[in-house]
Structure 1
C-alpha cells in the first residue's frame, strides 16, 4: 500500500501533518519574515507627514494579518487552509498598496520641489527598497499556488506557474547544472528567488532572470517596472539639481 511518506506528498494540503520528506522540502518562513520586517521598518521610518495616517493604518492591518499566518505556520510553511491562503495574498497586496502611497507622495514631492532635498531623497530610497520587497513577496505568494503548495505538493499537482525560471529548462544541460533543475532535482523557487526577480525587474525595467507567463504577472511586473523607472528618473534628476 502506497503511503504519503513514500512519494513525499500530502493527502491534504489543508489539514494533514507534514511527513519527514515534506519537512525537508517545505520552505522556512524566516527569509520572507526578514524581508517583511525590513519593509515594515522602512515604511514606519519614512518622514512624510502627508502619508502618516495611511501608513499607520496599513501597518496595523499588516500586523493583525501576520499573527494568524504565523500561528498556522510558525517555522516551516507546510500547512494551508483556504482562509490562510487568501490572507497571505491579502497581506502581500496590502504591503504593496501601502508602499504605493509612499511612492506617489515621494514622486509628487520630487516634482514640485516642496520638500528638503536630503529628506525626500532618503524617503525615495526607503520606498524603493520596500517596493522591491513587497512585489517580491507578492510574486512569492502567487506563483504555483504559493509557498505551501510548492513545498508540499507533487509537481504534477502544482497550479499553473506565473514564472518560468532558468531551472525549469535545464534538465538537458551539463550534469552538474541539470542536477539542480526542476525536472531532475525537483527544484522549487523560494523567497530569495522571487526577491531577485523583483530587484532585477525594478532595476532593468524588464524580466531578466524569470519570465512572466500569466497576464496577471505581466501586469504586476509592468506596474513595478513603471514605478521604479519614474522614481529612479526623478531621484537622479533631483540629485543632479542638488549637486549643481
Structure 2
C-alpha cells in the first residue's frame, strides 16, 4: 500500500469478497435445505440475499475503504435474515430429530447445513461487531478505536519469541479479517467454548453462548438420531 493509496488507513483495507462469498454460500445452503424445514421462507431468504449482495457490492466495489451506512445496513440485514431464518430451520429440525420424523439421511444432512450456516452467520456478526467493524479496524488509530470485543493471539504476542513476534499486532499492526472471525466461529461451534480467541465484552459472550448452545443441542440430537438409525 503506497502512502497516497487509501489515505487515512493504518493498513490495507479488507477485501469485500471473503465475507460476500461466504454469506452467498450460507444463502445457498439455506436454499438447499429440505422443503419441510425451509418451506416458503427459502424464497424470502434468496430474494433478500440477492438484494443485499447487490447493495454491498455497490457500496464497496473492491475493498472496505470508506464508511457506508447503507452498505453496512444491508450487510447487517443479510446476516440477520440468514440467521433468523436459520434459527427457524433449527427449531423445525430439532422437532424432527426429537420425533424421529423425516428421512434419516435427509434430516442429518439438513442438520449439517444448519450448523454450517450458523458458523458463517455468526462469523459475520463477530466481524461486524468487533472494534467498530471492518472499516474502523483498518483505519482508526488504535488508541481511538472502539474497545475490542475479542482478543486474538496476535494481540498478545508482542513479547513472544522473534519468529512469533513478527506476526503480532504490535509489530505488523495486524488486524483481524473475516476469515479470522469465520475460523473463530467454527472453533466455538465445535468446541462449545473459546479456543485461542477470548471474548472481552458482554455482548460477545452472549452471542458466543447462543451459538454454542444451539450447536451443542444440534450435535447431541444428531448423534442420538444416528445411533437410532444405525441401531
Normalising by the smaller structure, the TM-score range is over 0.9
Does 2:1 correspond to 1:18?
no
Does 2:142 correspond to 1:155?
yes
Deviation of 1:91 after TM superposition, in Å, equals 2.4
Q: How far apart are the structure 1 equivalents of 2:99 and 2:173? A: 52
Q: Which residue of 1 aligns with 2:17?
A: 30
Q: How far apart are the structure 1 equivalents of 2:179 and 2:37? A: 33
Deviation of 1:62 after TM superposition, in Å, equals 2.5
Q: Which residue of 2 aligns with 1:82?
A: 69
Q: Which residue of 2 aligns with 1:59?
A: 46
Q: How far apart are the structure 2 equivalents of 1:147 and 1:183? A: 19
- Contact kept, 8 Å, 2:37 with 2:89, in 1: the verdict is no
Unaligned runs of 5+ in 1: 9-16
Q: How far apart are the structure 2 equivalents of 1:214 and 1:24? A: 25
Does 2:212 correspond to 1:241?
no
3-state SS in 2 of match to 1:143: helix
Q: How far apart are the structure 2 equivalents of 1:23 and 1:214? A: 24
Deviation of 1:59 after TM superposition, in Å, equals 2.7
Does 2:178 correspond to 1:191?
yes
Unaligned runs of 5+ in 2: none
Deviation of 1:88 after TM superposition, in Å, equals 2.4
3-state SS in 1 of match to 2:40: helix
Deviation of 1:71 after TM superposition, in Å, equals 0.5
3-state SS in 2 of match to 1:46: coil
3-state SS in 2 of match to 1:27: coil
Q: Which residue of 1 aligns with 2:90?
A: 103
- Contact kept, 8 Å, 2:59 with 2:70, in 1: the verdict is no
Q: How far apart are the structure 1 equivalents of 2:61 and 2:96? A: 40
Scaled by the length of structure 2, the TM-score of the pair is 0.92
Deviation of 1:158 after TM superposition, in Å, equals 1.6
What is the Cα-based RMSD across aligned positions, in Å?
A: 1.9
Show CA shifts across 1:19-71 (max 9, x none): 3x849611111111221121111000001335322232133223222222110
Q: Which residue of 2 aligns with 1:115?
A: 102
3-state SS in 1 of match to 2:129: helix
1:228 to 212, 215, 226: 215
- Contact kept, 8 Å, 1:201 with 1:221, in 2: the verdict is yes
The answer to which of 189-198 and 151-160 deviates more is 151-160
Q: How far apart are the structure 2 equivalents of 1:221 and 1:23? A: 29
Q: Which residue of 2 aligns with 1:132?
A: 119
The answer to which of 116-125 and 51-60 deviates more is 51-60
Q: Which residue of 1 aligns with 2:190?
A: 203
Scaled by the length of structure 1, the TM-score of the pair is 0.88
Q: How far apart are the structure 2 equivalents of 1:121 and 1:70? A: 34
